[in-house]
Amino acid sequence: MGYRVSVIIAQEENWFVAFCPELDIASQGKSVEEARDNLKEALQLFLEHADPSEINLPKEPPFVSTLDIAV
């Protein structure tokens, strides 16, 4: 079985933090790729061992975008 989730990656000082908002799981790494790979591993472990009642994913991941705000 496979799942599709959204991932948000942000730099925090010398680290990149990867976050999956649907499951409220985060990980980090020294690069974007490492943070993403570490999050993927954390998500796989969670999904392999979670009770089905804990996996409450929407049919489609949320749309994530950016906005430029002039002030």
Q: pLDDT by residue (tens digit) across 22-61?
A: 999 999 999 999 999 999 999 999 999 999 888 888 888 7
Ordered domains of the chain (ranges, CATH):
1-71 (3.30.160.250)
CA dihedral 44, 29, 12, 6 (to 10 degrees): -30
Helix, strand, coil: what percent of the chain each, to 5? Answer: 30, 25, 50
**Confidence (pTM):** 0.84
Question: Residue 14's pLDDT is what?
Answer: 96
